[in-house]
Amino acid sequence: MKSSLYRWGLVVVAFLVALYALTPTILDWSDGALDGKPASTDGVASMFLEVDPTTEQITWTNVQPLTLGLDLQGGLLLQYHVYVDRAVQDQLTRMAGGIEERLREVQPDVQVEATHPDGETYIDVTLGQADDRKLFTEEFMSNFPSLTRSDTGSTTLRLQMDPNYIEETKEMAITQAIEKIRLRIDALGVAEPSVTRQGLSDIVIQLPGIREENIERAKDLIGQTAQLRFQMVDDSGTNQFFGQFRGQLPAGFALRSIDGGYFSVTHQDKEALQEFFAGRVADDRAIGYQFHPVYQDREKKVLDEEQSYWKTYLVYREAELTGEYIQDARVAVDQQFNRPYVSLTFFPEGAKIFAETTTEYTGQRFAIMMDDEVNSAPVINEPITGGRAQITLGSMQSYTEVQQEAQNLVIVLRHGALPAPIERQFETIVGPTLGQDSIDSSMRALLVGSILVILFMLIYYRRSGVISTIALTLNLVLIMAGLASLGATLTLPGIAGIILTVGMAVDANVIIYERIREELVVNQKPVRVAVKEGFDKAFSAVLDANITTGIAALVLLQYGTGPIRGFAITLLIGIVSTLFTAVYVTRILFDDWMQRTKSEKLSI
């Protein structure tokens, strides 16, 4: 009896945990729609969610309610392929050009041809004279830190790109693309957009519940390529310009003094700032916006949303330089102060422009901008003429933060204006009505199917059928709870997966019951022995059957895309809960029944 209590304990715990995981879903469902907004936010619900008092935005704490997939609630699904190899190839082509021009700078009459065969990861250089090889000094090669030189002939040499650098370039192309798309989508204001990486070089974008008029805008925004620009900050005009708004700023706006005494107008919202400055800026000036994060917990990167703000810069509208002139950007570490910084290399033409600009504007700030956002605005300390520049970053931060910031800046600098090309692969728009129809019909199918199966089990196995019904119900609860706690979304194939699992759970019971019956009828065993042997002998069949299906599900999870993965995940959760309910729970129910009954007959 004691062991029975122990065994029941596990079932009760599993049930309670499942119930806890499902509570947000039940709350959300209480008004008939799985939309993340429950009918009431008081009482039990208040334990699971937080309501933002100003925006009435609901955030679920700890456990999330089950969400519906795009196919069920409607929305826009896009998949892009990022041509990462192209990013590498572009870089090599640009470097080949850079090598030629730089050599001519050193020795104007040099005969040189640097070519980059398509698809390869090296640059072949052919020189007019063998003697010219001495031009490839260590100092010269330091302009191209990612290339390794090897001589292939008296007048030819090959520069091989570092494999690590190739991988890095590819990774960056994707990270950058995802980052950029995410930023652009945020501007749309769609609830719960998701931008995720799939496989090596695909990006999946899901915009549930997007309004039809916004679809085109979303696609335009995503397809756009970012333009990186270097614009001078109007240092002398800044204080006068922003100062004129002193005392006239609406609530929420503030005039602050930043970056060594320059004025800046700040606000929590970039849009509010944009709206305020519209029409107030001279034609040849523009406003650059920069986000200033304030952390509640620096280590964990918890943003203090209340305190963080956007600040403004007054910049010249005309760009001095664009990202196209950048040949390479890398994170380097200053040996003397042990601080990371960003090292930039320009193409010769860019180097010339950059030298002129920095000579003219020494002591002033220039802003590195993407669209209208300022990435950073360092001061030009001295004229930079070597075609290489260093960008030092904020000095008040920790090493890792600076490292992180430098890394981000490098991503922007490298691919800001020249990202790897992306290709739209899929594009699916699901209208809300089709979604509603399919969820209704599949739910109805699930319900009717389950009822029919249960009816069959009750008629065929009578009292034992009741036991399997209990196990089956618990099984469904566990599957739903599993999905909810994994944060999975409920999709059509997912529902199909649940239906299949129900079938397999019933099968497990059938295998066991048939075996028990066989022991009773054919081998004439007493009831208790028959039950025990039935369970024991059927176990290996049930286990192997579920494992092999599990193998198929794992393969699907590995190779499948979007909806198929949903099916596989549901199947995997289903297999675990089926083994638990159909074997373990059913067994306990039978054992208890056997202990209580004196009858030598079994209702099976």
Partner 1 sequence: MKMLQIYPYDAQNDIIGKRKIAGIVSLVLMVASLVLLVTVGPKWGIDFRGGTELIIKVDPSVTDDEVREAAASIGLADATVQRYGSEDEGRFMVQTQEVSVVDEVKVAEIRTELEALGDLDAALWNEEQPDRMDLRFSQLKDIAQIEQAVMAAGLSRVTVEATGQEQEAFYTVRFQDLQNIIREGFASFFGDKFSASGGLERLETVGPRAGEQLRNSGLVSIIVALLAILIYIWFRFDIRYSPGAVGALIHDVTIALGLFVILQIEISLPIIAALLTIVGYSLNDTIVLFDRIREDLDRAGTKPLVQVVNEAMNETLSRTLITSLTTLLAVMMIAIIGTGLIQDFAVALIIGIIIGTYSSVFIASPLMIKMDGYLKERRKAQELIDKANAADGAAQ
Name residues contacting partner 1, limited to 156-215 (CB under 8 A).
Answer: 212, 215
Residue 459 CB, shortest distance to partner 1, in Å, is 7
Closest to partner 1 by CB, 221 or 545: 545
Closest to partner 1 by CB, 202 or 234: 202
Closest to partner 1 by CB, 13 or 434: 434
- Amino acid identity of residue 221, one-letter, is L
Residue numbers 270-329 binding partner 1 by CB under 8 A: 322
Distance CA 577, CA 570 (A): 11
**50-58, 108-116, 151-159, 489-497 -> range binding partner 1 (CB under 8 A):** 489-497
**48-56, 309-317, 354-362, 516-524 -> range binding partner 1 (CB under 8 A):** 516-524
The site that binds partner 1 (CB under 8 A) totals a number of residues, namely 84
**Of these, 23, 79, 408, 469, which contacts partner 1 (CB under 8 A)?**
79
Residue 138 CB, shortest distance to partner 1, in Å, is 35
A 10 A CB-CB count for 425 gives: 13
Closest to partner 1 by CB, 13 or 448: 448
Q: Are 349 and 325 in contact (CB under 8 A)?
A: yes
Distance CA 520, CA 178 (A): 63
Q: Does 518 bind partner 1 (CB under 8 A)?
A: yes
Distance CA 97, CA 348 (A): 9
According to DSSP H, which parts of 462-600 are helical?
463-486, 492-521, 527-559, 562-578, 586-596
Residue numbers 365-424 binding partner 1 by CB under 8 A: 421-424
Residue numbers 548-567 binding partner 1 by CB under 8 A: 548-549, 551-556, 558-564, 567
Residue 219 CB, shortest distance to partner 1, in Å, is 7
Residue numbers 492-511 binding partner 1 by CB under 8 A: 492-493, 495-496, 499-500, 502-504, 506-507, 510-511
Spatial CB neighbours of 13, under 8 Å, sequence gap ≥ 6? none
What angle is formed at CA 300 by the lines to CA 296 and CA 301, rounded to 5 degrees?
Answer: 60
Beta strands 67-68; 75-82: pairing state: unpaired
Residue 502 CB, shortest distance to partner 1, in Å, is 6
**Of these, 192, 359, 544, 595, which contacts partner 1 (CB under 8 A)?**
544
Residue 468 CB, shortest distance to partner 1, in Å, is 10
Helix (H) or strand (E) holding 17: helix 2-29
Tell me the DSSP string of 153-167.
SSSEEEEEEPHHHHH
Closest to partner 1 by CB, 12 or 552: 552
**Of these, 514, 533, 591, 592, which contacts partner 1 (CB under 8 A)?**
514
Residue numbers 582-601 binding partner 1 by CB under 8 A: 601
Q: Are 220 and 184 in contact (CB under 8 A)?
A: no
Here's the x/- map for partner 1, 422-461, by CB under 8 A: it reads as xxxxxxxxxx-xx--xx--xx-xxx-xxx-xx--xx-xx-
Closest to partner 1 by CB, 125 or 504: 504
Q: Does 547 bind partner 1 (CB under 8 A)?
A: yes
Spatial CB neighbours of 268, under 8 Å, sequence gap ≥ 6? 252, 305, 306, 308, 309, 310
Residue 492 CB, shortest distance to partner 1, in Å, is 5
Closest to partner 1 by CB, 394 or 503: 503
User: In Å, how far are 272, 295, 302, 303, 588 from 306, measured between CA atoms?
Assistant: 15, 10, 12, 9, 54
Closest to partner 1 by CB, 384 or 504: 504
Distance CA 276, CA 442 (A): 50
Closest to partner 1 by CB, 183 or 499: 499
- Amino acid identity of residue 32, one-letter, is G
Closest to partner 1 by CB, 237 or 503: 503
Residue 536 CB, shortest distance to partner 1, in Å, is 11
Closest CA to 94 of 132, 147, 157, 134: 147
Residue 583 CB, shortest distance to partner 1, in Å, is 14
Q: Are 180 and 226 in contact (CB under 8 A)?
A: yes
DSSP letter at 603? -
Residue 461 CB, shortest distance to partner 1, in Å, is 8
Q: Are 274 and 253 in contact (CB under 8 A)?
A: no
